[in-house]
């Protein structure tokens, strides 16, 4: 735990909540000097090098999904968090734009489900990208334009669709998981010592500058022996990783564009949260986003497609102020199956919120509205 956090909390109190509020505060802005930055020199007393398995993924396989050779990844563990692995942007130069475009253009498409489906008709949410690109391609004008659908997007679910009300998955609420994201995830998992990982459920979170994600544990999956993977693109965020109880003060770390986090083993069920979104440091801003063309040597075998100039104009405008995070999970272990659930309840006009926040346990709350990805108790 960082010195500042240690000095802020008394024994027995909800340390996570206190530190979450500290980093969420806007006025005055929080002191970020205690936030770990894996893209820079890291303190050797708390950060260790993570052991990867470079033989698990060949260089060609890695390049197919836009990743550097595993031996070139900068991967870290944290003292006191066994099973937690932070991979500082393992993407090849020029390859993040493909994944950003998938998050903004492809994955929000049907049959995947998003927050807008909760209070809009299927025809209204059918082509979120197409309905948004005109406004997003034009340079911002002086007066405030109405928000596009893309800017109102808060979450998308893939594969087994997470039910925010019951906090469960069900056998009959499933659509095919995207093959490209499955391949990316299985390679990251294999390199981290989890061969045979099956990407079965995904949650994409879309963060606007004022968004935050409340304190929660991801425990709805039936098999907790499989890791949870997290991919970040666009603006940076402060991520808080706590313990198994809210009294454990969390460690704060930056997540920059391209960073990948793996929560496995004893770290799979830890409390975590995102209190704030912040602009990336200067050296990250031009990122490798500018070069959105794929290396020509890759073009035959890659699952990735070239991102057109027009698509990139929209994506880059979006991520100039926003962050997208994808978490990927294996839901079922060998021999496990999910229950079937009755068909979803009819949508009513009052349905503005999906999922509910359990104040006692700190489980997550999702909003289908436009103000925050997720909110925390005040
Ligand atoms: C999550 O915990 O579900 C997402 C975390 C993040 O946005 O980094």
Span from the CA of 228 to the centroid of ligand 1 (angstroms): 10
Question: Tell me, what's the pLDDT at 362?
Answer: 36
Span from the CA of 232 to the centroid of ligand 1 (angstroms): 9
Is there a domain that residue 12 lies in?
yes
Distance CA 328, CA 262 (A): 10
User: HEC states along 238-265?
Assistant: EEEECCCCCCCCCEEEEECCCCEEEECH
Question: Between 360 and 136, where is the model more confident?
Answer: 136
Q: What is the CATH number of the domain that holds 94?
A: 2.60.120.590
Q: Which helix (H) or strand (E) holds 274?
A: strand 272-278
Is there a domain that residue 372 lies in?
no
Highest mean pLDDT out of 162-171, 288-297, 298-307, 343-352: 162-171
Which band of pLDDT confidence, cut at 50, 70 and 90, is reported for residue 281? Answer: confident
| Three-state secondary-structure class, residue 55 | helix
Is there a domain that residue 358 lies in?
no
Question: Between 374 and 106, where is the model more confident?
Answer: 106
Counting ligand 1 atoms within 8 A of each CB, the residue from 213, 215, 240 with the most, and so the one to mutate, is 213
Pick the residue whose CA is nearest to atom 8 on ligand 1: 325
Determine the atom of ligand 1 nearest the C-alpha atom of 261.
8
Range of the domain at 164: 3-329
Determine the atom of ligand 1 nearest the C-alpha atom of 323.
7
Is there a domain that residue 312 lies in?
yes
Is there a domain that residue 276 lies in?
yes
Residue 28 has pLDDT above 50, yes or no: yes
% of the chain exceeding 90 in pLDDT: 76
- Total domains present in the chain: 1
Question: Tell me, what's the pLDDT at 34?
Answer: 95
Structural tokens at position 351:
């349905």
Residue 367 has pLDDT above 60, yes or no: no
Q: Which protein residues are within 6 Å of ligand 1, measured from CB? A: 203, 205, 213, 230, 232, 237, 239, 255, 272, 274, 325, 327
Report pLDDT digits (tens) over 318-343.
999 999 999 999 999 999 999 998 76
Which band of pLDDT confidence, cut at 50, 70 and 90, is reported for residue 345? Answer: very low
Q: Which helix (H) or strand (E) holds 366?
A: strand 366-367
Report pLDDT digits (tens) over 110-163.
999 999 999 999 999 999 999 999 998 887 666 656 689 999 999 999 999 999
Is there a domain that residue 79 lies in?
yes
Is there a domain that residue 355 lies in?
no
Is there a domain that residue 375 lies in?
no
Which band of pLDDT confidence, cut at 50, 70 and 90, is reported for residue 366? Answer: low
Looking at the DSSP bridge assignments, the partners of residue 234 are 323
Residue 358 has pLDDT above 60, yes or no: no
Question: Tell me, what's the pLDDT at 353?
Answer: 29
């Amino acid at each position: 735990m960082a010195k500042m956090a240690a000095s802020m909390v008394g024994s027995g109190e909800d340390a996570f909540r206190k530190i979450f509020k500290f980093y969420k505060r806007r006025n005055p802005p929080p002191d970020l000097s205690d936030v770990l930055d894996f893209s820079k020199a890291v303190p050797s007393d708390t950060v260790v090098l993570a052991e990867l398995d470079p033989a698990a993924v060949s260089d060609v396989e890695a390049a197919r999904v836009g990743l550097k050779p595993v031996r070139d990844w900068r991967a870290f563990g944290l003292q006191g968090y066994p099973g937690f692995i932070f991979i500082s942007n393992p993407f090849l130069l020029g390859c993040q734009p493909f994944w950003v475009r998938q998050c903004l253009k492809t994955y929000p498409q049907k049959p995947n489900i998003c927050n807008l489906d909760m209070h809009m008709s299927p025809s209204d949410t059918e082509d979120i990208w197409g309905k948004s690109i005109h406004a997003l391609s034009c340079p911002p004008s002086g007066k405030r334009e109405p928000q596009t659908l893309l800017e109102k997007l808060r979450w998308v679910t893939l594969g087994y669709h997470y039910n925010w009300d019951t906090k469960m998955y069900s056998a009959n609420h499933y659509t095919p998981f995207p093959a490209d994201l499955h391949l990316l995830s299985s390679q990251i998992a294999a390199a981290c010592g989890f061969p045979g990982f099956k990407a079965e459920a995904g949650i994409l979170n879309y963060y606007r500058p004022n968004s935050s994600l409340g304190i929660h544990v991801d425990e709805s999956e039936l098999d907790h022996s499989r890791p949870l993977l997290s991919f970040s693109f666009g603006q940076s965020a402060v991520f808080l990783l706590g313990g198994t109880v809210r009294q454990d003060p969390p460690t704060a770390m930056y997540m920059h564009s391209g960073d990948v986090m793996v929560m496995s083993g004893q770290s799979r069920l830890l409390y975590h949260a995102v209190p704030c979104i912040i602009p990336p440091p200067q050296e990250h801003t031009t990122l490798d986003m500018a070069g959105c063309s794929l290396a020509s040597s890759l073009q035959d075998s890659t699952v990735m497609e070239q991102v057109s100039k027009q698509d990139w104009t929209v994506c880059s405008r979006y991520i100039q102020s926003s962050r997208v995070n994808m978490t990927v999970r294996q839901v079922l272990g060998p021999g496990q199956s999910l229950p079937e659930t009755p068909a979803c309840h009819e949508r009513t006009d009052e349905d503005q919120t999906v999922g509910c926040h359990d104040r006692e346990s700190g489980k997550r709350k999702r909003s289908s509205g436009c103000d925050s990805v997720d909110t925390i108790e005040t």
